[in-house]
Amino acid sequence: EPEVTQTPSHQVTQMGQEVILRCVPISNHLYFYWYRQILGQKVEFLVSFYNNEISEKSEIFDDQFSVERPDGSNFTLKIRSTKLEDSAMYFCASRTGLAGGSETQYFGPGTRLLVL
């Protein structure tokens, strides 16, 4: 069964550094998402992406964040200047957008980001 994949699984960075988190959504999916989960807390929406543009973003997704689909398979989240409070697990998710079961979002295994 196809799965969403993410790299790296863990990333440690210094405050102020840029990080890029990578995701490969399921191949025929049309909608892509980034969520984050601070340790011990609930999953929070960051941004959704459809038709090569951001369709919705949360208040967390400020100017330090950007997303890109550089080719037909990858979907990336960039944090330009990391802060301590960016430490979290970042999940990528995707869904088909087609009729019949199109709402189901499939999550990747996550990237644990630690900002020191």
Which residues of the chain form contacts with another protein (CB under 8 A)?
31, 33, 35, 41-45, 48, 50, 55-56, 91, 95, 103-110
Burial class (CB in 10 A: 0-12, 13-18, 19+), 98: exposed
Q: How far is the CB of 16 from another protein (least distance, A)?
A: 27
Nearer to another protein, 20 or 109 (CB): 109
CB of 68 to another protein, least distance (A): 17
Are 49 and 25 spatial neighbours (Cβ–Cβ below 8 Å)?
no
